[in-house]
Amino acid sequence: MDKFVVKQGKKRTMSGHAKLEEHEAKTADLKPHEKCEGTQGFQLLQVRGDLFSCPESDSLVHCISQDCHMGKGIVVIFKKKFGRVEELKRQGQKPGGVAVLKTEQRYVYYLVTKEKYWQKPTYRSLESSLRAMKAHCVQHQVCRLSMPRIGCGLDRLHWDRVSQTVKDIFSDTDMAITVYTI
């Protein structure tokens, strides 16, 4: 699998290490309000690595069910690292919405893509959740996101279609999104 950066709709190949180093160098000492400066158009970066090794200034994204069960997959790690499940439940988000936790350095976005943990999301619910997250990002000047291949692990959506949806939704922004695969 080639790793690539999409910048304003154009592909350019880079090595995984070079891309990650470039991303980390750009975000290393930035304060939250400075993160968008220097970003020129939408970028989608795909790297191999541990999502939780991303810069602490990047906000994190993943998918959950409305019941906030979080019993399998990467959501278990989010649950252990960030907790506050009752706070997520109190937000009352339904499929197509986004629940948000704020930490000292970043936001953590919980894309609510289905009602029950055992169900599968739809592309429509994922798209709606992404649009809700985009609105929050724009409102709060969030310019850098890190995520796994959302909806494509246990939820079995297809990455080609999901990544195109991400590009379509964020293409009019200056967002830099890094997608981590193991």
Look at residues 46, 23, 45, 27 and name the one whose alpha carbon lies nearest to residue 37: 27
Task: Tell me whether residue 2 is one of the annotated catalytic residues.
Answer: no
Q: Tokens representing 151? A: 């909806």
Return the structure tokens found at 45.
């970066």
Calculate helix-pair angle for 159-170, 123-139, nearest 10 degrees.
Answer: 30
DSSP H/E element including 37: none
Q: Is 94 a catalytic residue?
A: no
Which of the residues 3, 35, 114, 134 is marked catalytic?
114
- Find the catalytic residue in 72, 155, 160, 172: 155
Number of Cβ atoms within 10 Å of the Cβ of 86 = 8
- How far is it, in rounded angstroms, from Cα 50 to Cα 45? 14
Please give the positions annotated as active site.
Answer: 114, 155
